[in-house]
Amino acid sequence: MEQLLPVALFLFVLFLLLGTGVWVGLALLGVAFVGMELFTTRPVGDAMMTQIWRTSSSWSLTALPLFIWMGEILFRTRLSEDMFKGLSPWMARLPGGLMHTNVVGCTIFAAVSGSSAATLTTVGKMTVPELIKRNYPERMVIGTLAGAATLGLMIPPSLTLIVYGVTINESITKLFIAGIIPGLVLSALFMGYVMIAAKLSKDFNPTPEPVMTFAEKVANSRFLIPVVLLILLVIGSMYLGFATATEAAAFGVLGALALAIAQGALDWQSFKDSLMGATLTSAMIALILAGASFLSLSMGFTGLPLALATFIKGLNLSQFELIMALLVFYIILGCFVDGISAVVLTIAVVEPMIRDAGIDIIWFGIFIVVVVEMAQITPPVGFNLFVLQGMTRHEMNYIARAAFPMFLIMIVMVFILIAFPWLATWLPENMAQRPT
């Protein structure tokens, strides 16, 4: 009972600040400041400076702005156009036809982006008009794009995994490698849905694509070479042990710049725009991380995380029951805050529970990313829904309904991860001593 007052105060101040439009990072700092002032005797200013500096000076965090910059550079190239040209001949004969370019295109771009929004925007600006022009059902086009774009959060390089790794002090490289197999499995589930929906839907009657010979298909595949080389450079350098996550991010930026120059898409203005876009996004995430770090310290002084972890332990929940409780908790939380905020807001409280329950930290990182992906397509603040609304001019309800089947597929993915945990742990465990 003695912990109810701090909990109530933390929640009241947080919702008050967020409700008045204060930035998430500043709201977290404000909550932490109030908590430190009321429940501890430690000087608040000294504690805040020390904690924020410790978090912000993490070497692993350097990968974050670099991967964001790489995505910003690629967004300004002809990458989406080239991917559509390279993929469409191979996808046309599959059940579901060119609808698969949404899923496969997002899977490929996710491997060089790290951002769900960047993946959605880059792939969608090419596939949406092309698929609608070919008479594919618009609802399915929008729904598959909304869901598949969330792969940008899981398939490395993932900004969410970087934030998670920094927050719990875990190897970013191991987390990246852990996301590869689950990301491909989720992509396969999305493609399976497209195949089944295409067979069952009465509205699925796209314009047939012209038949191409095998040689013509291979010739069109040349458009995929630059992005495949970039993926091999970034992910391959980490897995083979040539580079840490931060060094791989630097290679990725150089590769993206080289690709943009080769395509003639890089001038001084686009270079400045990409740099400014990366700076703004990185600063936003850094502020959220700083606020969450200070809030974690403040909550630690109140004894709240330990008390809550002890309470949960006293319930004698099994691993499965705990995971189910967290699944429901994060789905509800994801309706109101973005994915990165959800991770940094809760991890200080959730981490002790997970470790105490004997749940693998790497596996839980992939689990939390899948659940955070759901937040991207759940109203009222699903970010992918807002991006698609601006892209298609449809109402939010229409887009949310279109994306709902993908939400259900992600829930299926959670249960697949629970049934087959090795999907997330096998690759990291079998990496020979790689740098982190």
User: Taking Cα atoms as reference points, which of 69, 74, 99, 95 lies closest to residue 87?
Assistant: 99
**79 pLDDT exceeds 80?**
no
In this structure, is residue 436 part of a structural domain?
no
The answer to whether residue 433 scores a pLDDT higher than 50 is no
Higher-confidence residue of 242 and 139: namely 139
Looking at residues 107-134, what average pLDDT do you find?
80
Burial 338-375 (b: 16+ CB within 10 A, else e): bbbbbbbbbbbbbbbbbeebebbbbbbbbbbbbbbbbb
Most confident of the ranges 13-27, 73-87, 354-368: 354-368
Domain interval for residue 199 = 4-429
Is 205 a member of any domain? yes
Whether residue 434 lies inside any domain: the answer is no
Mean pLDDT, to the nearest integer, of 210-226? Answer: 83
Q: Is residue 100 part of a domain?
A: yes
Cβ neighbours of 430 (radius 10 Å): 8
Assess if residue 211 is contained within a domain: yes
**Dihedral sign for Cα atoms in the order 64, 65, 68, 70:** negative
**177-190 average pLDDT score:** 92
Is the pLDDT at 436 greater than 50? The verdict is no
DSSP per-residue string spanning 111-160: HHH--HHHHHHHHHHHHHHHHHHTT--HHHHHHHHHHHGGGGGTSSS-HH
Q: What is the mean pLDDT of residues 288-310?
A: 69
Q: Are 435 and 173 in contact (CB under 8 A)?
A: yes
CB 16 within 8 A of CB 279: no
User: According to the model, what pLDDT value does residue 338 have?
Assistant: 67
pLDDT at 434: 47
Domain count, the chain: 1
* pLDDT for 288: 73
Q: What is the pLDDT of residue 362?
A: 92
What does the pLDDT read at residue 18? 67
Give the residue-averaged pLDDT of 187-205: 88
Alpha carbon distance 340, 354 (integer Å): 19
**For residue 182, what pLDDT is reported?**
93
- Mean pLDDT value of segment 66-81: 79
Indicate whether 418 pLDDT > 60. Answer: yes
- pLDDT for residue 187: 93
- Residue 188 is predicted with a pLDDT of 93
Share of the chain above pLDDT 90, in %: 10
Q: Is 76 domain-assigned?
A: yes
The answer to whether residue 401 sits within a structural domain is yes
* pLDDT band, residue 304 (cuts 50/70/90): low
Mean pLDDT of 111-126: 77
Q: Is residue 268 domain-resident?
A: yes
What spatial distance separates the first Cα and last Cα of the chain, rounded to whole Å?
42
Q: Fill in the DSSP letter of residue 60.
A: G
pLDDT score, position 1: 47
Nearest by Cα to 425 from 354, 356, 367 = 367
Q: Does 294 have pLDDT greater than 70?
A: yes
Is the separation of the CB atoms in 143 and 405 below 8 Å? Answer: yes
